[in-house]
Amino acid sequence: MADAGPTQWFFDAWSRIYDLPLVQRATYRPVHDAVLQALASSPLSRVLDLGCGTGQLAARVKRERPGVEVVGCDFSAGMLSRASVRRRDVRWIQGDAGRLPFRDGSFDAITSTEAFHWFPDQHAVLAECYRVLEPGGHLLLAMVNTPASIVSNAFYAGSRLVGEPFYWPTRQQIRERVADAGFVVDSQRRIFRLPGFLLPPVLTRALRPGKAPRGVHRTPGGGAPRVARRT
Q: Which fold is adopted by the domain 8-207?
A: Rossmann fold (3.40.50)
Could you give the residue ranges of the DSSP H alpha helices within the chain?
Answer: 8-18, 21-23, 29-39, 56-64, 77-83, 122-132, 149-161, 171-180
Q: Which residues 6+ apart lie within 8 Å of 85 measured at CB?
A: none
Kindly report, residue by residue over 97-130, the tens digit of the pLDDT.
999 999 999 999 999 999 999 999 999 999 999 9
DSSP 114: S
Q: Are 149 and 170 within 8 A, CB to CB?
A: yes
The CA dihedral of 150, 141, 4, 123, to the nearest 10 degrees, is -90
Give pLDDT, residue 22.
58
**How many Cβ atoms sit within 10 Å of the Cβ of residue 22?**
8
Report the percentage of the chain scoring pLDDT > 70: 77
SS3 category, 47: strand
The pTM of this model reads 0.83
Q: What is the pLDDT of residues 128-173, one digit of tens each?
A: 999 999 999 999 999 999 999 999 999 999 988 978 888 999 999 9
Gap between the Cα atoms of 147 and 135, Å rounded = 32
Average pLDDT in the chain:
85
Looking at the predicted structure, is the pLDDT value of residue 176 above 60? Answer: yes
Residue 229 has pLDDT above 80, yes or no: no
